Amino acid sequence: ELGQYRHYMQKEIFEQPQALANTLEMIGTAQRLSPHLFGSAAPELLDGVTRVLILACGTSYHAGLVARYWIESLAELPCTVEVASEYRYRESVPDPDTLVVAISQSGETADTLAALKHARHLGMNRTLAICNVAESALIREAALKFLTRAGPEIGVASTKAFTTQLAALALLALTLASQQDWITGEEEARHLAALRHLPVAVQKVLELEPGIAVWARRFADKQHALFLGRGHHYPIALEGALKLKEISYIHAEAYPAGELKHGPLALVDKEMPVVAVAPNDALLEKLKSNLQEVKSRGGELYVFADQDSAVSEEPGLHIMRLPEHYGLLSPVLHVIPLQLLAYHAALVKGTDVDKPRNLAKSVTVE
């Protein structure tokens, strides 16, 4: 069943173009999105939404963090993202006009399910589940649903579920934007074209695997690693750090690059590899000065840039370029090399990639 692959995780990383194509299939060639994508009650339940609250755990939470940037910038709706296990136990202020979005690969994560029930109990009935399993408890609990079509994900470390969640969340952001007339038909069509091109763009990024495997060898004997990103790539840094720690057992932390000098810079020395997500966006110049801070402390830098990023190799600063600059959807592409980096670091270390110690695929207990 593994075919040419050594592990399910590797297979699932390489299935991402197909998983994205399947998830996006339902939009066909449409130039405008219909709210019906999210269920028959969507026109009514999405109408009049004034805020969005996203609830999830782990990797699914990171997908929510990316979506916050999209929802606020495209739909101009305030968006909060909260770890489900925190939300369910704290006192919060309910608001019936908030769209509550629960994201889960399995749809059985106890905390995410309980958080959604908690929101409903507080009187929030505009609920949407984004989930990869049609018959799951989460799907039954929510008024609206969107099924990602990643196919079964067997590796404990989530990969294709994450990128398909991002595709679903991009569709949600566009639907909300379109409904409120925040974007023109032309802009919407342009974003949809970019979404449709994603499988091809991801395929090209996957071709970077051999170079990433070489980088991974330099990580495997390290105790710690730092991941930096800015803007909608900060959650991608978080996801890269999570992947590395869960399968290679290397301690990794992610910071928004601007936070570096507020503490973590103290940790940087030549034993601390620093990974930076550095696409060519408005934040690149700022990120570059953060990279200099790392370099001047002897830290070894591994930068994932794209074709247009104005950064260049120098001693201690290694660059890998993604073939395309992808604007709003760039986080979908930039997570791929971080998944591959974690996978190859784990291979070198010889850990049980598909079943990392102490972890379960579906966390059905709190």
Of 1-9, 17-25, 91-99, 104-112, which part binds ligand F6R (CB under 6 A)?
104-112
| 307-to-157, 191, 279, 312, 324 alpha-carbon distances in Å | 29, 20, 8, 11, 6
Binds ligand F6R (CB under 6 A): choice among 158, 179, 280, 290: 158
Minimum distance, C-beta of residue 172 to ligand F6R, in the bound complex (Å):
16
Q: Does 109 bind ligand F6R (CB under 6 A)?
A: yes
Minimum distance, C-beta of residue 54 to ligand F6R, in the bound complex (Å):
12
Spatial strand order of the sheet with 317-322 comes to 251-256, 224-229, 274-278, 301-306, 317-322
Q: Does 246 bind ligand F6R (CB under 6 A)?
A: yes
Count of residues near ligand F6R by CB under 6 A: 15
What is the residue whose two structure tokens read 């810079």? 265
Determine the straight-line distance between the first and last CA of the chain, rounded to whole angstroms: 32
Chain positions 224 to 243 lying near ligand F6R, rule: CB under 6 A, are 242
The one-character DSSP state at 74 is: I
Angstrom distance (rounded) from CA 205 to CA 146: 26
Whether 361 is catalytic: yes
Angstrom distance (rounded) from CA 145 to CA 158: 20
Q: Does 106 bind ligand F6R (CB under 6 A)?
A: yes
Q: Does 148 bind ligand F6R (CB under 6 A)?
A: no
Minimum distance, C-beta of residue 53 to ligand F6R, in the bound complex (Å):
16
Which residue, 35 or 240, has its beta carbon nearer to ligand F6R? 240
In the chain, the amino acid numbered 105 is Q
Contacts of 280 (CB under 8 A, 6+ apart): 305, 306, 307, 308, 309, 310, 325
Q: Does 10 bind ligand F6R (CB under 6 A)?
A: no
Q: Does 60 bind ligand F6R (CB under 6 A)?
A: yes
Structure tokens that stand for 265 in this block: 């810079």
Residue of closest CB approach to ligand F6R: 58
Contact (CB, 8 A) for 255 and 224: no
Which residue, 209 or 246, has its beta carbon nearer to ligand F6R? 246
Which residue, 109 or 330, has its beta carbon nearer to ligand F6R? 109
Angstrom distance (rounded) from CA 347 to CA 345: 5
Of 55-63, 71-79, 182-190, 339-347, which part binds ligand F6R (CB under 6 A)?
55-63
Minimum distance, C-beta of residue 194 to ligand F6R, in the bound complex (Å):
25
CA 294 remoteness from chain centre:
25
Of 56-64, 279-287, 325-333, 336-344, which part binds ligand F6R (CB under 6 A)?
56-64
Q: Give 5: exposed, middle or buried? Use CB within 10 Å, 0-12, 13-18, 19+.
A: middle
Q: Does 362 bind ligand F6R (CB under 6 A)?
A: yes
Minimum distance, C-beta of residue 167 to ligand F6R, in the bound complex (Å):
15
Q: Which residues bind ligand F6R (CB under 6 A)?
A: 57-60, 104-106, 109, 112, 157-158, 242, 246, 362-363
Active site residues: 361
